[in-house]
Amino acid sequence: MATDPIHQFQISRIVPIEVGSLDVSFTNSSLFMVATVAAVTLFLVLATRGRGLVPTRLQSMAEISYEFVANMLRDAAGTEGMRFFPLVFSLFMFVLFANLFGMFPYFFTVMSHLIVTFALAMLVIGTVVIYGFMRHGLKFLGLFVPHGVPGYLIPLVTVIEIISFLSRPISLSIRLFANMLAGHITLKVFAGFVVSLSALGAVGIGGAILPLAMTIALTALEFLVAFLQAYVFAVLTCMYLNDAIHPGH
């Protein structure tokens, strides 16, 4: 069990709840989502409580994260995009904290399940589509018809563009999920080598140094990935929102 690298992703029911035939149990995944939200809320509330003109360390951390997301959104979607700031900021903080939580030993990595990342991606794309139609009406469909394409190619290009658009939530979710899953499995496999090698006696313990070093390096890399994937998720959200705000002509 200790060396099974997949075991860490198992969902277990903590409070079994059944609504009809639907299983809506409170699982360990739900528990860590709640913990993530609580941690983000606690961090931001505590950090902004002082509201000093000269920020404390905690407050400047909150301000940096605000600045970071605000600049990202403004670059990608312009000043108009700032109305989506709450969405993007929540997504970024949620993914970031969930990923960082996953770095604790014995903690569950929420983002290593495709359904979670897919739900987040669908939220983004749903926002893009609904807002795009609300604001531009049918002109939003112009996103799929590039200008300057010869007439006989328009149907083909349009279909390809639509498929390309539909593939966005999938690629968005696969990317986040695959990164978290692969990273944690690799980490676990190398850590497992340390255990099984050191069972071989003195030579084994000597040999176990190599995978141990690898595990340490991978842990550092995983912290980078945890941040980077939250960033990538937020950046792509911004770019897709930009499509909803400025869908070409």
Q: Using CB under 8 A as the criterion, which residues of the chain lie in contact with another protein when the complex forms? A: 53-55, 60, 63-64, 67, 70-72, 74-76, 78-80, 142-144, 146-150, 153, 156, 159-161, 163-164, 166-168, 170-171, 174-175, 178-179, 182, 225, 228-229, 232, 235-236, 239, 242-243, 246-249
What CA–CA distance (Å, rounded) separates 49 from 220? 32
What CA–CA distance (Å, rounded) separates 126 from 147? 25
Minimum separation from the CB atom of position 119 to another protein (A): 16
Minimum separation from the CB atom of position 193 to another protein (A): 20
Minimum separation from the CB atom of position 45 to another protein (A): 17
Q: How far is CA 82 from the centre of its chain?
A: 20
Cβ proximity to another protein: between 132 and 197 the closer is: 132
Q: Is residue 241 within 8 Å of 135, Cβ to Cβ?
A: no
Cβ proximity to another protein: between 87 and 136 the closer is: 136
Minimum separation from the CB atom of position 153 to another protein (A): 7
What CA–CA distance (Å, rounded) separates 10 from 1? 12
Cβ proximity to another protein: between 59 and 90 the closer is: 59
Minimum separation from the CB atom of position 212 to another protein (A): 21
Cβ proximity to another protein: between 88 and 197 the closer is: 88
Cβ proximity to another protein: between 35 and 214 the closer is: 214
Residue 76 CB coordination number (10 Å): 19
Query: Strand, helix or coil at 10?
Result: coil
Radius of gyration of the chain (CA): 22
Count of CA atoms in the C-beta half-sphere (13 A) of 227:
8
